[in-house]
Amino acid sequence: MNRRSLLPLVCCFSFSSISWSAPATEAEQFLKKAVDEVLATSDRAANSSALAEKVRPILQRYISFETMARRAVGPGWRQFTPDQQRKATQLFTTLVIRTYSSKFTPGERPVMSYLAAVTPAAGRVDVPTKLVYQGSRYSVTYRLEQEGSWKITDVVIEGVSLIANYRTQLDAKFKSGGAPAVISSLEQSVSRPK
């Protein structure tokens, strides 16, 4: 192969590198802004219940809870009525925010290091991080997708996807009792003491 025949290949590779890195940079900046807002808010919360309430509107701006709930339920989601989808999303949102807020002590900030973002497909970026909190180290990858703007659509902690974790539970509920069983299960989880 001569140099001239390599030129189109080099140009194509250069163009694709630019087009892939720009979304990764945008998504990473989006994530950093979300994390900064949550951390600033957590500094002002008195306890984990207050933290959950304070961060909820912030998280709803940055996370696509509807996408997460839909994927957590699986193929059965298409059989939910629009009202059941809204109810399931609302309950799922409350459950996720409450569950993860309870794992943090307000005012104690984790230390996060952002690693190189990966673009597995157009419109999707994975941002791996290393998190140190209360002396423990965690690998956390945030999966973001473009839904008009960037949104977080999954969080993978130590190799375990939040969506996959809930999918195991919610898909089984759907198979045993349809949408009412899923909603009932989410209602029970949300009504349990924190």
With a pLDDT cut of 70, the percent of the chain lying above it is: 89
Cβ–Cβ under 8 Å, residues 117 and 127: yes
State whether residue 158 is helix, strand or coil: coil
Cβ–Cβ under 8 Å, residues 145 and 63: no
Name the phi and psi angles at 113, rounded to 5: -120, 125
pLDDT digits (tens, 9 = 90+) for 15-62: 333 334 577 889 999 999 999 998 888 888 778 788 889 999 999 999
- pTM of the predicted structure, to 2 decimals: 0.84
Cβ–Cβ under 8 Å, residues 176 and 186: no
Torsion, Cα of 136, 106, 63, 151 (10° steps): -70
pLDDT digits (tens, 9 = 90+) for 76-99: 999 999 999 999 999 999 999 998
pLDDT digits (tens, 9 = 90+) for 163-178: 999 999 999 999 999 9
Instruction: Delineate the domains of the chain, giving CATH numbers in brackets.
Output: 3-191 (3.10.450.710)
